[in-house]
Amino acid sequence: MEHLIKCILEQEKFDYKQIMKSTSGFTNVVYIVDSMVIKIALDEEKKKKLEKEINIYKNIKINNIPQYLASGQFDNCLYLIISKVNGRGLYSVWHSLSDFEKEKCIEQISKILKMFNNQNANFLGKEYKIYDWENFVIGKLKENKQGLDKLGIDTKKISYFIENNDLFKDNSYGLVYNDAHFDNFIYDNGNVSMIDFDRVIYAPIDYEMLIFKTMCDNPSKFASEEDEANVFDEDFVQVYDWFKKYYKELFMLPNIEQRIKTYQFNYLCEQALKMKNRAIGNQWAEELANNFDI
């Protein structure tokens, strides 16, 4: 694989001193080359996702994200080269920051996401654009209800909500990052950057709060194994309120908190119904259904 990286660098005429494989690549093979990051996709499904990310880097013009350097094909692989962001994942340093420093981080995150939400999404493929939002959200809710019904769990409250809600008729659309948790924000001497864009969609911008609010409610959920020891619930108590303070426009949308609760229910219920440990999954699903109070 290192030979392939050298061929790509030669093709792009990039000089380099050191090539190192990264352990952070989940979707793609990732290498660190000096101050650059090279992402490689070899199979067709991963190529499709990387192509999406390439288009994002080519079209999004905001600070505090890696900068696009090059992309292309070599033999049977698709590659993307971006600038390397210096610093450490926010999860790994959050416990060591003062409240003042933490609030400044959230202020930056809110500004980054606000700029991202306001970017033109014309470049995004139609498969990543969700226009019938009411059908999307209620459709997922119906699927989860069916899963709960099969387990014999009481879903009367969910049925009533499906039949009587109108929360998702009016929407404010934008480019949604869709992965806003602290593993995807890099902290460097007071500055915060955002990385990894393979989950981006075009949707109502309040959907941005699904992952972020879920992280605030359960701080360790998205932390890596290495960072879990540094994640303490008390360090996240003010995070959501800080975000609401700095992204006021998002929270002026009608029924915002009820909408976010619905997103969270769908997300968590789907995870519970798919758990390999069915005893734990069933118990979790029942708790979610019993506490459905949107």
How much is the mean pLDDT over the chain? 95
Looking at this protein, which amino acid is placed at residue 211? I
Separation between Cα atoms, residue 120 and residue 202, nearest integer Å = 10
pLDDT of 23 above 80: no
Tell me: the pLDDT tens digits for 85-122?
A: 999 999 999 999 999 999 999 999 999 999 999 999 99
> DSSP secondary-structure letter at 64?
S
Q: Which domains does the chain have, with CATH numbers?
A: 2-83 (3.30.200.20), 88-290 (3.90.1200.10)
Contact present, 200 and 177 (Cβ < 8 Å): yes
H or E element in which residue 138 lies: helix 133-150
pLDDT value at residue 1: 85
Within 10 Å of residue 45's Cβ, how many Cβ atoms?
9
Tell me: the pLDDT tens digits for 193-207?
A: 999 999 999 999 999
pLDDT of 25 above 80: no
pTM score, whole prediction: 0.93
Q: Is 88 helix (H, G, I), strand (E, B) or coil?
A: strand
Looking at this protein, which amino acid is placed at residue 209? M
Tell me: the pLDDT tens digits for 4-15?
A: 999 999 999 999
Pair of tokens at residue 98: 């003062």
